[in-house]
Chain A
Amino acid sequence: MVERIAGVADKANVNAVFGEPKEVHGRVLIPVAEVSYGFGMGWGSGSTECTCEGDDEACCSEEEAATEACCCDEEEGAGSGGEGGGGGSGARVRPLAYIEVGPEGAKVVPIQDEQKIALMGIAMGMWCVGWIGLVLKSLLKK
């Protein structure tokens, strides 16, 4: 799994930010993007210890101590344990611009995320309307 994750990291290297040049209608375009990736993993192990404390009074009584269900049963309880682990990874590529190379020279053309800007614009409009309403209400109050 570690090798797999390391593979993701290698692929998303610095050169992934600038894409392969493509020729479109006599012009060469180089895509430019912001690349982010992350991975994480964790693992651990534990053992079950026999404790006769708390709610399970029956377990702690002498009569029940030898039953199979009792946590104090040495054969069932002691020495058992477990281990496990897990992990995950993800990557994101966000287009920022493209470099257009033509006979007259090169230029950088920015790319805007219209959806994000529109959502922010709506939120900002509501924010401004709220503040203006609050101020007007305060000013007109007698």
Chain B
Amino acid sequence: MSGISTTTRIVAGTPIEAGGRRFLPSVMVTTLEHNTAGHIFQVRRMRPVSVIEEGADIKHWYNIPDATQNALSQMAAVALLVAGMGLLILLLNRFARR
């Protein structure tokens, strides 16, 4: 569809002070938008990427994983693998019978 634009960018959030430490968050913002005469829509997804902990003399980087998505992706990969193996066995069996 024409007129739909998608942009992805990494944005730094406001620093968070917690427990005597300072955290700098970063967020991946994906925007899908369409704007023409007569209709307009915008969908925005903001996913946390990482947090940097800033101390007096240390700097730690923490990745923020999407544990649910990772588990679902692993299951989908296993399902594909099972289907691929099954298909391979079926084809080999068919050729062996000829």
The verdict on A15 contacting chain B, using a C-beta distance below 8 Å, is: yes
Query: Do the beta carbons of A128 and B29 come within 8 Å of each other?
Result: no
Query: Do the beta carbons of A110 and B45 come within 8 Å of each other?
Result: no
The verdict on B98 contacting chain A, using a C-beta distance below 8 Å, is: no
Range class of the A interface residue count = 35 or more
Query: Do the beta carbons of A42 and B83 come within 8 Å of each other?
Result: no
Task: Tally chain B residues at the interface, Cβ within 8 Å.
Answer: 45
Q: Residues 92-136 of chain A: 1 if any B CB is under 8 Å from the residue's CB, otherwise 0?
A: 000011010110011110111100110011001001100110110
* A34-B42 contact, Cβ under 8 Å, with A106-B60, A135-B86: no
Query: Do the beta carbons of A117 and B72 come within 8 Å of each other?
Result: yes
What is the chain B residue whose CB lies nearest that of A97? B64
Query: Do the beta carbons of B44 and A38 come within 8 Å of each other?
Result: yes
Q: Residues 2-38 of chain B: 1 if any A CB is under 8 Å from the residue's CB, otherwise 0?
A: 0000000001011011110101010101000000001
CB distance from B40 to the nearest CB of A (A): 6
Q: How many A-B residue pairs have CB under 8 A?
A: 144
CB distance from A84 to the nearest CB of B (A): 12
The verdict on A50 contacting chain B, using a C-beta distance below 8 Å, is: no
Interface SS, A side: strand
* A42-B39 contact, Cβ under 8 Å, with A32-B64, A34-B46, A116-B68: yes
Q: Which residues of A contact B75 (CB under 8 A)?
A: 117, 120-121, 124
Contact partner of A15 (CB less than 8 A), chosen from B14, B42, B66, B90, is B14
CB distance from A108 to the nearest CB of B (A): 5
Contact partner of A14 (CB less than 8 A), chosen from B13, B39, B42, is B13
The verdict on A7 contacting chain B, using a C-beta distance below 8 Å, is: no
Give 7 CB contacts A-B under 8 Å.
A17-B47, A21-B16, A41-B39, A106-B53, A124-B75, A131-B83, A134-B86
A-B interface, 9 closest residue pairs, ranked by CB to CB distance from nearest: A40-B41, A101-B19, A110-B67, A38-B43, A42-B39, A21-B18, A131-B86, A28-B19, A113-B68
Residues of A that sit less than 8 Å from B by CB: 9, 12, 14-18, 21, 27-28, 30, 32-44, 96-97, 99, 101-102, 105-108, 110-113, 116-117, 120-121, 124, 127-128, 131-132, 134-135, 138-139
